[in-house]
Amino acid sequence: MIAPTVGGLTVQNLSVRYGRVQAVSGVSFSVADGESLGIIGANGAGKSSTLKAIFRLIDSTAESMRFAGSSLQATPPHRVVSLGMAYVPEGRRIFVGLSVRKNLMMGAYRSSWRHLGDRIERVYELFPALKKLDGVLAGALSGGQQQMLAIGRALLSEPKLLVLDEPSMGLAPVLIDDIAATLRRLRDQGVSMLLVEQNAKLTFGLTDRCIVLENGRVVKEGPSAILRADPAVRQIYLGL
């Protein structure tokens, strides 16, 4: 049994089905305040389905899903955001017809607009490249710039927990390093994170703990440093 976390996220026995296909089966984990948790696994392991279930984007069943003291099981997606979680989806999903600034403003839609300009400036401090593109349509940005924008948009809601789905997907190694440096900075500032990543090496470097999913089930879990040294994990996910 996973102990409830004060203000954090606790998931107990989460399951997701797509018709006859069991995508997630009995998954349990928690993310405490100020902690970073990684979820790794092969394609089809149930990683993204787990995140979508937490945000109520797909149907699921669970013994319990709680965040910041509130149950998520009957909570619509917009209320999940209002509780203090922000989601950076796989594929970025930015508003390509809006400018960089207006995309960032959309991230504040469910939160207070007080000091909005200051909050946008803080994002620009994290991602200086975006400040130079303030009025540019998001659809004209490079893949790396779009990922920065997707993370920045999520931060505009001032989340207690930042949830990221494959932030390195499709990016050149140098851009992955830039994104990783920014996430480390956020982590060091006390932002809680839940990270789904194919890049296991990146995940281990950014998180305190990890769970490994295989066919929708948790097959390994523990401190990231210990899992990184696990011979089976090193062979399967690190190629060592």
Domain that holds residue 202: 1-84+195-240
Give the up-direction half-sphere exposure of residue 110: CA atoms within 13 A in the CB hemisphere.
19
The pTM score is 0.88
Task: Look at residue 215 and tell me whether its pLDDT is greater than 80.
Answer: yes
For residue 63, the tally of other CB atoms under 10 A from its CB is: 13
Alpha carbon distance 96, 108 (integer Å):
17
The string of pLDDT tens digits covering residues 88-140 is 988 778 889 999 999 999 887 766 666 788 889 999 999 998 999 999 999 89
Retrieve residue 180's tokens.
């990783």
Give me the chain's average pLDDT, please.
88
Nearest-5° Cα angle at 186, 91 to 113: 80
Q: Do the domain assignments include residue 117?
A: no
Q: Do the domain assignments include residue 132?
A: no
- Give residue 1's pLDDT band: very low, low, confident or very high (50, 70, 90): very low
Task: Look at residue 237 and tell me whether its pLDDT is greater than 70.
Answer: yes
How many domains does one find in the chain? 1
Region class of 172: left (phi > 0), else alpha (psi between -120 and 50), else beta:
beta
The string of pLDDT tens digits covering residues 178-194 is 889 989 988 888 889 99
Which residue in this structure is represented by tokens 């956020």? Answer: 186
Q: How much of the chain, in percent, has pLDDT values that exceed 70?
A: 93
Asked if residues 5 and 29 have their Cβ atoms less than 8 Å apart, the reply is no
Residue 43: give its domain's CATH number: 3.40.50.300
The string of pLDDT tens digits covering residues 19-46 is 999 999 999 999 999 999 999 988 888 9
Retrieve residue 18's tokens.
């797509």
Task: Look at residue 150 and tell me whether its pLDDT is greater than 90.
Answer: yes
Q: Of 13, 65, 5, whose CA–CA distance to 208 is shortest?
A: 5
Asked if residues 54 and 45 have their Cβ atoms less than 8 Å apart, the reply is no
Q: Do the domain assignments include residue 118?
A: no
- Give residue 216's pLDDT band: very low, low, confident or very high (50, 70, 90): very high
Q: Do the domain assignments include residue 47?
A: yes
